[in-house]
Structures are given as structure tokens and as C-alpha cells.
Amino acid sequence: MTRPTGREHTGKQRGMSVSSENRSVAGSIPSSCLVTIFWAAEKLVEETGVDVVKLHVGDPYFDPSEDVAQAFVDAVRRGDTKYTGVEGLPALREAAADKLRTDNGLDSEAGRLLISPGSAQGLTGLLQALAEPGAEILLPELHWPVHLQQSLLAGFRPVLYPLGPGFRPDPERIAAAATPRTRVLLINSPANPTGAVLDGDEIRTLLDLARRNRWQVISDEAYEHFCYEGDHISVASFEREIPVAERIVHSVFTFSKGFAMTGYRLGYVAPATDRMADVMKVVQEAGIIGTSTPVQHAGIAALNSRADSTAANRKLVQRNRDVALPPLIKAGLLRELPAGGWYAMLDVTRSGLDAESFAMRLLERKGVAVVAGNGFAMRPDVDDQGRIRSHDYAPWARHLVRIAFCVDPVELETGVRRIIEFVEECAAEAKG
Ligand SMILES: Cc1ncc(COP(=O)(O)O)c(C=O)c1O
């Protein structure tokens, strides 16, 4: 392990002094690659006023349908702004249960569902609910950095398993990475950042592996509405025939992506068992008390009109993918179009720059913000207390950068053109 954790640096950026006494797990976690570029882009805009082409954030260029905004405003206007139960509004849980039954093949009863302020909070709660002292969680070596942060904060020791070809989970490698302390396997299909979408056979094999080893499974289905070459398959749909008390798949969903409701902050969790739903209620009580009431009303409207909105939103992002990304394949920066999700991982080896230098120089020279891909492959060295002692990055991720293709089509095409130009310029400079 070669790098310091960056803990002191993080403290400075937040304007706090981190004393040497601060030995918390949270204090050992460095800022992620996502916020690093976010801050850099904001700073550039503030200092120079240039228009930055923002390909670094998974925020869509389209808005929620009008009925969603109306339901939110109506709830506020009629004063429906008091606390709801920790588990959420009964009417929203009913609507979510109906959607899960019809669209996802899950038979979760409304009574087992929990509404959360965004699926990130749902994931956090679920991880807290599942964490045991010393327990390990299996995450892919190329992962959403927030999954790693959440795991550490909940008290898990993350174990990163190597991926197979096309960044797909390989059951043999997962089994080889597991230890007797492994408790949870996290599955994220469609995946952030790789865009990989698992098929039914792959999911079944992973579930069999988890069941054989008595692991729990967390299925993060944030991008369920964005599959471009087939249908999304929910992991928990394979557990329908299993008695509820024996199920192991805990699923997490969001309104942020399919309904373009990122800033509303709304998601929901379908715990596998009644017991886990009860534990989650305690965690939600302690962590959030409840989810914003008017936002939950907006969620009901979103679910009621979902057939039109989610299909329309998928088409918009798919069009972006099909129109804007092929030039990256032609330029040798992208192997194939992502099968799902909102992101593409580019290989910028030809530029001669490592991912972090590439992202920073691209921002400075071309005004395009992308995320350095090595940050999705951080490898923490964790001590006995669950604190990061040091970290490095998988060497094979040194030349990867992630772009989001859910953004405005003109911005996206501009960003892609500038990325290709920049790579050509860097390659020419390197040749001398
Ligand atoms: C894989 C994945 N899961 C969950 C989320 C969280 O979304 P939210 O908290 O907005 O529901 C994101 C957001 O980017 C994501 O990429």
C-alpha cells in the first residue's frame, strides 16, 4: 500500500482541523473520486465563469413528469407536512408493492417495505441492519465508491473480488475471495460504473453461491429502468418460491434515476424477511425518523404514471448512448456500448496520462468534467477496528475514466468531441 489515506487533506477541505485524536472509522475514509472532480469543476466555474461540460455526475437532463411536481406542491399547500411513520406513507408503500409485483416479479408485501430519503440512505440503513462485528462484505473490485464508504461506516470489512471479462462478476473468483467471516454479497445490475447488466443465469448462479455459503445479498437496482439490450431482472424475483423467513435478498430501489427525481431524495427498500424489515425500522428511526412527507406524495404520483415516464426516460438516455458514444468506440477509447445504466468507462491509455491527471487536465484545457476511474477501484487496507490504514488503486484502472451519458445531448456530444480531441493532442505531444 503506497498512499496515505488523505484524511488530513479531507479535513482541511472541509475547513475543520482533524486532530490526531480523531480515530473514527469515518475520519479514515478519504473523499471519493466523485466529489474530488465535483469540487474541481465548481471551483473552475466560480473562478473563471467558463461553462463546464459536466459528464461527471449521474444527473439527468430531463425532469420528472408534471404530475410529480404537482403532487409535491399540493401536499405542501394542504399542509400535509407532518412526520409519517418511520417506514413511510402507507399509500406509497402500497404503490411500491404493486410496482414491485407487476414490474419486478417480487411479492414483497407493503408491510415489509420501507421508504427512505434516496436509495443511498436505504442502502446505508440496510448495511447497518446487516452488519455484525468483524463481518465482511463482498464488493466488486470496480465499484461505486459510495458502496465502499457505506460498508465501512456500517462496520463491515470490505473484500473486493476480481471481475471477469466485460467487468462481470465471476462466481469462482467471488468464492475464492470469500472467507468464513463473509456475510454479504452486493450485486448492482445494471452496474455503476461499468454498465454491465447481469442475465438470469448469472443471477441464479450468484444466488446459489450465496445460499450455499449462508450469505445475505443486497441488490442495488438503482438503474432498473435503463437496460438497453434486454429486460431488467430483479434478483429477488428468483426467491418467490422460497418461504419469506428463509429468503436472503434485500433489494433497494430509487426514484432518482427512472423518474429523474434526484433532488427529491426518495427511494425504498424491500428487505428479504419480516425480521429484517423490523430491524430496518429501528435503523430508520435512529437515522432519519422518517422521509419527507410531500416528497412521498410526489413518489405516489410518480409510480402511478410510471409506464409512460420510465419508458420515455429510458429512450432519451438510450438515444444519447446510441448517437454520442459510437465515436468513442471508433477512437479506440470504448470497447462497446454499455448494456445498461448511465455511465461508460473509457480507456484513455493512448493519452499517456493516468486517470487523475487526465481528468484534471481535461477540465482545465477543454472544460469537460469526467471522473478518474481509478477511484472506482480503490483498495483500502483496513485495520482490526475497521479503519482505513492506507489505500491504493488497482493498477489496471490507472487509465480508466467514467463519463455519464444521461446529460443533455448537445453537451454530451460536445464533451465526447473534446475528449477525443484531447486524447489526440496528448498522444501527439507524447510522441514529441
Ligand atoms: C449504484 C447506485 N446506487 C444508488 C445510488 C443512489 O441514488 P439515490 O440516493 O439518489 O437514490 C446511485 C446514485 O448515483 C448509484 O449510482
Dump pLDDT digits (tens) for 171-209: 999 999 999 999 999 999 999 999 999 999 999 999 999
Q: Could you tell me if the CB of 256 is within 6 A of ligand 1?
A: yes
Mutational test site, ligand 1, from 257, 262, 268, 371, max ligand atoms within 8 Å of CB: 257
- Per-residue pLDDT, averaged over 87-101, amounts to 98
Q: Whose CA is nearest to atom 6 of ligand 1?
A: 120
- Per-chain mean pLDDT for the chain: 94
Residue 160, pLDDT > 50, answer yes
Distance CA 118, CA 285 (A): 16
Distance CA 48, CA 41 (A): 11
Q: Is 413 helix (H, G, I), strand (E, B) or coil?
A: helix
Checking 208-214 for CB contacts under 8 A at 24+ apart, the result is 209/171, 209/174, 209/175, 209/185, 210/185, 210/248, 211/248, 213/175, 213/178, 213/182
pLDDT for 430 equals 82
- Per-residue pLDDT, averaged over 247-259, amounts to 98
CA of 120 to the centre of ligand 1 (A): 6
- Per-residue pLDDT, averaged over 154-180, amounts to 95
Q: Could you tell me if the CB of 219 is within 6 A of ligand 1?
A: no
Q: Whose CA is nearest to atom 15 of ligand 1?
A: 222
Q: Could you tell me if the CB of 371 is within 6 A of ligand 1?
A: no
- Per-residue pLDDT, averaged over 292-318, amounts to 97
Q: Could you tell me if the CB of 262 is within 6 A of ligand 1?
A: yes
Residues 6+ apart with CB under 8 A from 116: 88, 122, 125, 266, 267, 268, 269, 284, 288, 291
Q: Could you tell me if the CB of 120 is within 6 A of ligand 1?
A: yes
Tens digit of pLDDT for each residue in 2-29?
A: 444 444 344 334 444 445 578 899 999 9
* Domains of the chain and any CATH numbers: 7-58+308-431 (3.90.1150.10), 66-304 (3.40.640.10)
Q: Could you tell me if the CB of 122 is within 6 A of ligand 1?
A: no
Q: Could you tell me if the CB of 267 is within 6 A of ligand 1?
A: yes
pLDDT for 20 equals 59
Distance CA 77, CA 88 (A): 20
Q: Whose CA is nearest to atom 14 of ligand 1?
A: 58
Residue 273, pLDDT > 80, answer yes
Report whether 330 contacts 211 (CB < 8 A). Answer: no
Q: Ligand 1 atom closest to Cα of 192?
A: 1
Tens digit of pLDDT for each residue in 394-422?
A: 999 999 999 999 999 999 999 999 999 99
CA of 246 to the centre of ligand 1 (A): 28
CA of 195 to the centre of ligand 1 (A): 14
- Per-residue pLDDT, averaged over 94-104, amounts to 98
Where residue 210 falls among pLDDT bands split at 50, 70, 90? very high
Where residue 432 falls among pLDDT bands split at 50, 70, 90? confident
Tens digit of pLDDT for each residue in 324-347?
A: 999 999 999 999 999 999 999 999
pLDDT for 229 equals 93
pLDDT for 308 equals 93
Q: Ligand 1 atom closest to Cα of 188?
A: 1
pLDDT for 19 equals 53
Residue 81, pLDDT > 50, answer yes
Q: Could you tell me if the CB of 422 is within 6 A of ligand 1?
A: no
Q: Could you tell me if the CB of 150 is within 6 A of ligand 1?
A: no
CA of 268 to the centre of ligand 1 (A): 12
pLDDT for 87 equals 98
